[in-house]
Each structure stands twice: as structure tokens, then as C-alpha cells.
Amino acid sequence: GINAEYGAVLPLYSSILSEVGAKGRSYQECDLDKMLRTGTFGCSTHTAASVTETDEFKVGMLMRSYCLDANLPYMTCLWQDLLTQPHFHETDRRAYRAGVLSVTRQEV
């Protein structure tokens, strides 16, 4: 299993992993690649009960995506890039989202 420190941030990590840049590409470039070559990309956390101990469970990360057979190698490469070389430093995206939320709230 994972240690408590990693377990505490796993939900946050999994919720943003599929929406960041990776391997020298910005999040916009990664999003475009995903839109052009896959049907969906996403991550979430899950818990599973131990099959041997009734009071134990394991926390894990579920990654999901789908694509046409011809795009499978590219989709696998995108996952590998996101898992091994994610970019979490693009702060302009947070500012962009805050601006969109602000405008949306004003319109409602």
C-alpha cells in the first residue's frame, strides 16, 4: 500500500492528473492531443476491501480512457507521459478557471 502522506493527497492528485501538461507540453497541448485521439481521459480514487482481513482496505487510483484501436499506442504514450512527467506548475490555468467562474457567477 501507500503511506499515509501519499494517501492524503491521492484524491487531489488523481483529480488533476488527467488535466495537466506533461513531457514538455502545456496542458492546452495535452488537452488537444486527448481530444483528437481519445474519447475520454480521467482518474479517480477507489477503495477496495481486503479479501483476507475484514477490517482492512486498500486505496488506489483508477485510470480510465478509451480510443479507437488505431490510437491505442498514442493513448498509452499520453498516460505514460502524465504518470512519469506531469507538469503541475502552470498557474495560469487556475487564474483562467477563476475568471470563468467569476463571469459565470455574474451571469447567474
Summarised one tens digit per residue, pLDDT across range 38-93 is 988 889 998 888 888 888 888 888 999 999 999 999 999 999 999 999 988 776 66
Question: How would DSSP label each residue in 57-91?
Answer: EEEEEEEEEE--GGGHHHHHHHHHHHHHSEE---T
pLDDT band at 108 (very low <50, low <70, confident <90, very high): very low
